[in-house]
Copies of this chain bind each other. A is one copy, B any other.
Amino acid sequence: MDLTEDELIAAVVRVLSGAGPEVRVGAGDDAAVMSVGEGAELVLTTDTLVEGVHFDLELTSARDLGAKAVTASVSDIAAMAASPRAAVCALVLPPDVEGSWVMELMGGMRSACDEYALWLVGGDLSRGPALTIAVTVTGEVAPGRAITRSGARPDDAVVVTGALGGAAAGLRAAREGNASAATLLRAHFRPVARVGEAATLARHGATAMIDISDGLALDLVRLCAASRVGVRLEVAEVPIAEGATVDDALEGGEDYELIAAMPQDSVERAGAELRETFGVPLTIVGHLEGSGALTAVDRDGSGAPLQPRGWDHFAR
């Protein structure tokens, strides 16, 4: 492929533009939003895990994999400040997969669906050369209340939930066979989607949100591009999971924490509610700027261009 993931997405989004008035948010955000009847909008997203690209069957259990496949899509619904409602999964199964393994996978999917209170209502099974799990989740949000990537304003604070880099460090621990790194392993194999946290941030005035699936640097740059703003990211302020590195936090991906933009004076109350209700910290990691410049500010105060490096599925 001659294009990066984001270049191809941009090209595809151009082909898909021009949707009707009932499409409130089309291709290019965490999820699409459509008007349906009165009182609610439908939110729709799909996410795929491919063997050898997103997971290694030697390292993950079928249950964890099923749960993670659902969680990744639920996280996209959360990033719109919506509530997940139903899921369907499309499975591609190589010939050597046992029926009992598929049942374990479905059990993990159902368990994640129970956790986030949505229903797994159907699916599709196909034969194919590589195990592939595509989960589509629908959600619901009050009309006009979805938070997109594109509503951020200059001078908004940039906040992140939780701590970052745990998933990348957990994958490294799993590859090294380090079973004592239980918290990191859990961060990688059983990540949590921030559904309630996202709704709380929206209630406190979040202007834009995105979930961290491909790393803070890349996903923050995507939010800035959609909102046509710049950012000064204070690298020293980024909350790093215990056992993880700065690079894990900036470029690791799959943490499924949230990046939000919100007015500076709302952060304290939002953070207090997140801590009390969910036990999850909220941290200011930078500020947006009207200039459009993307800057990573180091501990010593020196600035350098923020590199949108991260989990590009086409580069690996």
Residue of B nearest to A15 (CB): B106
Contact check: which of B44, B120, B132 meets A27 at CB < 8 Å?
A: B120
Tell whether, in the assembled complex, residue A129 and residue B130 are in contact, meaning their CB atoms are under 8 Å apart: yes
Contact string against B for A residues 145-186, beta-carbon threshold 8 Å, 1 for contact and 0 otherwise: 000000000000000000000000000000000000000000
Q: Which residue of B lies closest to A44 (CB)?
A: B88
Q: Which residues of B contact A92 (CB under 8 A)?
A: 48, 50, 130, 132
Report yes or no: A44 in contact with B121, Cβ–Cβ below 8 A.
Answer: yes
Chain A 84-106 interface 0/1 with B at a Cβ cutoff of 8 Å (1 = within): 01101111110111110011001
Contact status B26-A126, CB under 8 Å: no
Are B47 and A86 neighbours in the complex by a CB distance under 8 Å?
no
The reply on A301 being an interface residue by CB < 8 A is no
Q: A8 within 8 Å of B by Cβ?
A: yes
B-binding segment of A133-141, A222-230, A273-281: A133-141
Q: A16 at interface (Cβ–Cβ under 8 A)?
A: yes
Selected from B1, B22, B120, the residue in CB contact (under 8 A) with A98 is B1
Supposing A106-B15, A132-B92, A134-B134 touch, asked if A125 and B42 sit within 8 A by C-beta, the answer is no
Tell me the nearest residue of chain B to A102, going by C-beta. Answer: B8
Q: Is the interface of A mostly helix, strand, loop or mixed?
A: mixed
* A30-38, A233-241, A244-252, A282-290 - interface stretch: A30-38
Q: Which residues of B contact A144 (CB under 8 A)?
A: none
**Interface pair A127/B50, CB less than 8 Å apart:** yes
A8 touches B46 (CB 8 A): no
Cβ-based interface call for A299 (8 A): no
A52 touches B128 (CB 8 A): yes
A53 at the interface (CB under 8 A from B): yes
A197 CB → nearest B CB, Å: 23
Q: How far is the CA of A203 from the CA of B268 in the complex (A)?
A: 57
Establish whether residues A106 and B12, one from each chain, have CB atoms under 8 Å apart when the complex forms: yes
- Residues from chain B with a CB closer than 8 A to the CB of A120 are 16, 19, 27
Contact with B along A104-120 (1 / 0, CB 8 A): 00110010000000011
Chain A to chain B contacts (Cβ below 8 Å), 28 pairs: A1-B98, A2-B99, A11-B99, A15-B110, A22-B119, A23-B86, A26-B119, A26-B121, A29-B122, A32-B122, A34-B119, A36-B42, A37-B40, A38-B38, A44-B86, A44-B121, A44-B122, A45-B88, A46-B88, A46-B124, A48-B90, A53-B128, A124-B134, A127-B313, A128-B130, A129-B129, A129-B130, A132-B132
3 tightest Cβ-Cβ pairs between the two chains A and B: A32-B121, A50-B128, A136-B136
Given A2-B98, A27-B122, A37-B38, list of 11 further CB < 8 A pairs? A1-B97, A5-B125, A8-B102, A27-B121, A34-B86, A44-B136, A44-B138, A46-B123, A47-B124, A88-B136, A127-B313
